[in-house]
Amino acid sequence: MSPTTAAEARKHNFAYIIRICCIAALGGILLGYDTAVISGAIGPIREHFGLTPAQTGWAVSSVVLGSIIGAV
C-alpha cells in the first residue's frame, strides 16, 4: 500500500463532506415535503374524525415530529 499524500487526503475528505451535505439536504427536502403533504390533509382529517383545534394541532405536530425522526 502506498503512502497517502496530503493532496489525496484532502480530496478524499472533500468528497466525504460533499456526501454528508447531500444527505443532510435530502433530509431537509423530505421534511419539507412531509410538512406540505400534511398541510393539505388537515381539512379532511379534521372533518373525518371531528377533531377540535387542539386535537388537530396535536395530530399535525405528531406527523411533523415523525417526519423529523424519519429524516434523521
pLDDT tens digits, one per residue of 14-49: 889 999 999 888 888 877 777 777 888 888 989 999
Q: Does residue 11 belong to any structural domain of this protein?
A: no
> How many domains would you assign to the chain?
1
Cell of 26: 435530502
Its domain, for residue 60, covers 22-71
CB count within 10 Å of CB 25 equals 10
Q: Contacts for 33-39 with beta carbons within 8 Å, 24 or more apart?
A: 34/63, 34/64, 34/67, 34/70, 34/71, 35/64, 35/67, 38/63, 38/64
Q: Does residue 9 belong to any structural domain of this protein?
A: no
Percent of the chain with pLDDT over 90: 28
Q: Does residue 37 belong to any structural domain of this protein?
A: yes
Q: Does residue 67 belong to any structural domain of this protein?
A: yes
At residue 29, the pLDDT reads: 83
pTM: predicted TM-score of the whole model, two decimal places:
0.52
**Distance between CA 42 and CA 59 in Å, rounded?**
9
Question: Cell 415523525 appears where?
Answer: 66
